[in-house]
A and B are shown apart, each in its own frame.
Chain A
Amino acid sequence: MTRVTRVARGEGSGPLGAVPDARAEPSGPAGVAPAAAARGTTPAAAAGAELRAEGPAAGAELRAEGWGWRHAGRAEWAVRGLDLTIAPGERVLLLGASGAGKSTLVHAFAGVLGGSDEGEQEGSLTVGGRLPADSRGLTGLVLQDPDSQVALARIGDDIAFGCENLGVPRDEIWRRVDEAMEAVGLDLPLDRPTSALSGGQKQRVALAGVLAMRPEVVLLDEPTANLDPAGVAEVRDAVAAVVRSSNSTFVVIEHRVDVWLDVVDRVIVLDPGGGVLADGDPATVLRERGAELARGGVWVPGFDPLQGRPARQAAAAPAPAAATDARPTLLATADLAVGRTPAAVAARGLDLDVARASALALTGPNGAGKSTLALTIAGLLEPLGGTLRARPALTGDPVPAAAEAVPPAADSDVPVAEGPRARADERRHRREVRRARRRGGTHGRALGEHPFAWPSRELLTRIGTVFQDPEHQFVTGTVRGELEVALRALRLDAAEIDARVTEVAGRLRLDGLLTANPYTLSGGEKRRLSVASVLVARPAVLVLDEPTFGQDSRTWAELVRLLGEQLDRGTAVVAVTHDRAFIEALADRELEVRPAEGSGA
Chain B
Amino acid sequence: MSVLTPVRGSGRIYAVNPVAKLAASLLLSLFLLVTVDWVSALVALVLESVLFVWAGLGARAFFRRTAAIWIAAPLAGVTTVLYGLPSGVAYFEFGLIHVTEGSVQLALASALRILAIGLPAVVLFATIDPTDLADGLAQVVKLPSRFVLGALAALRLVGLFLDDWRQLELARRARGIGDTGRLRRFLNQAFALLVLSLRRGSKLATAMEARGFGGSTVRTWARPSRFGAGDWMLVLIGLAIGAVALGTSIATGSVNFVLG
- How many angstroms between the C-alpha atoms of A378 and B176 in the bound complex? 12
Is residue A582 contacting chain B, with contact meaning CB distance below 8 A?
Answer: no
| A474 x B211 contact (CB < 8 A) | no
Once A165-B212, A375-B170, A459-B176 are accepted as A-B contacts, the answer to whether A471 and B195 lie under 8 Å apart by CB is yes
> B60: which A residues are within 8 A, CB to CB?
none
| B215 x A475 contact (CB < 8 A) | no
> B188: which A residues are within 8 A, CB to CB?
475
Instruction: Describe B's contact surface by its main secondary structure.
Output: helix
Contact with B along A462-481 (1 / 0, CB 8 A): 00110101011111000000
Is residue B90 contacting chain A, with contact meaning CB distance below 8 A?
Answer: no
- Pick the contact of A472: B1, B171, B214, B223 (CB < 8 A): B171
| A149 x B203 contact (CB < 8 A) | yes
- How many angstroms between the C-alpha atoms of A148 and B209 in the bound complex? 13
Is residue A139 contacting chain B, with contact meaning CB distance below 8 A?
Answer: yes
Is residue A457 contacting chain B, with contact meaning CB distance below 8 A?
Answer: yes
| B206 x A489 contact (CB < 8 A) | no
> A464: which B residues are within 8 A, CB to CB?
174
| A537 x B176 contact (CB < 8 A) | yes
> A489: which B residues are within 8 A, CB to CB?
175-177
| A147 x B176 contact (CB < 8 A) | no
> B214: which A residues are within 8 A, CB to CB?
165
Question: For the side of the interface on B, what is the size category?
Answer: 35 or more
Instruction: Describe A's contact surface by its main secondary structure.
Output: mixed
Which residue of chain A has its CB nearest to the CB of B205? A112
> A154: which B residues are within 8 A, CB to CB?
131
- How many angstroms between the C-alpha atoms of A465 and B159 in the bound complex? 24
Q: Separation in Å of the B182 CB from the closest CB of chain A?
A: 12
| A485 x B177 contact (CB < 8 A) | yes
Is residue A95 contacting chain B, with contact meaning CB distance below 8 A?
Answer: no
Please indicate which of the listed interface residues B1, B166, B173, B200 has the most CB atoms of chain A within 10 Å of its own CB. B173
Total CB contacts across the A-B interface at under 8 A: 176
| B221 x A467 contact (CB < 8 A) | no
Once A148-B207, A164-B222, A195-B159 are accepted as A-B contacts, the answer to whether A153 and B130 lie under 8 Å apart by CB is yes
- How many angstroms between the C-alpha atoms of A209 and B211 in the bound complex? 8
Once A137-B215, A170-B220 are accepted as A-B contacts, the answer to whether A149 and B204 lie under 8 Å apart by CB is yes
B window 1-30: CB within 8 A of A: 1-2
Q: Separation in Å of the A454 CB from the closest CB of chain B?
A: 10
A-B complex: 10 closest residue pairs judged by Cβ atoms: A456-B178, A489-B176, A165-B212, A149-B207, A162-B211, A148-B203, A141-B210, A160-B222, A465-B174, A460-B176
Binding site for B on A (CB under 8 A): 107, 110-112, 136-137, 139-141, 143, 145, 147-154, 156-157, 160-170, 173-174, 177, 194-195, 206, 209-210, 213, 340, 375, 378, 380-381, 440-441, 455-457, 459-460, 464-465, 467, 469, 471-475, 485-486, 489-490, 519, 533-534, 537
Cβ contacts A to B, 16 pairs, < 8 Å: A141-B210, A151-B204, A151-B207, A151-B208, A153-B155, A157-B223, A164-B222, A170-B222, A195-B1, A209-B211, A456-B176, A457-B179, A472-B171, A474-B192, A486-B175, A534-B174
